[in-house]
Amino acid sequence: MSFQVEDNPAKRRFEILVDDALAGFAAYTPGDGVLVFTHTEVDNRFQGQGVGAALVRGALDEVRARGDRIVPRCPFVAAFVKRHPEYADLVVDPA
């Protein structure tokens, strides 16, 4: 099984393809150098296979490469960052 994470700015979401099939997405609201992650969804066929974690990891790696930051309003993204403190520096205070 091969994962590929891509940003789809037209739909305001990162998408994960598993063997070229859309397996899930992480939706965001773009701001000035900040992406507010609002919702993550993985197709039932791909749940429990690490697809959600691969999706968020790929999205956060892309955010880091751009020099942007995040607000993890999505509970899945927030939990991922909590479990992976190497991404904590990407989080900004939404205040």
Confidence (pLDDT) at 93: 73
N-to-C CA span, the chain: 40
Would you call 12 helix, strand, or coil by DSSP?
coil
Domain covering 3-90 in this structure, CATH number: 3.40.630.30
pTM, two decimal places: 0.94
E-state strands within 1-95: 3-8, 13-18, 21-30, 34-42, 69-72
Give me the mean pLDDT over the 46-64 stretch: 96
pLDDT tens-digit series, residues 21-42:
999 999 999 999 999 999 999 9
Instruction: Give tens-digit pLDDT for 5-25.
Output: 999 999 999 999 998 899 999
Name the DSSP class of 67. Answer: T
Question: What is residue 95's predicted lDDT score, i.e. its pLDDT?
Answer: 47
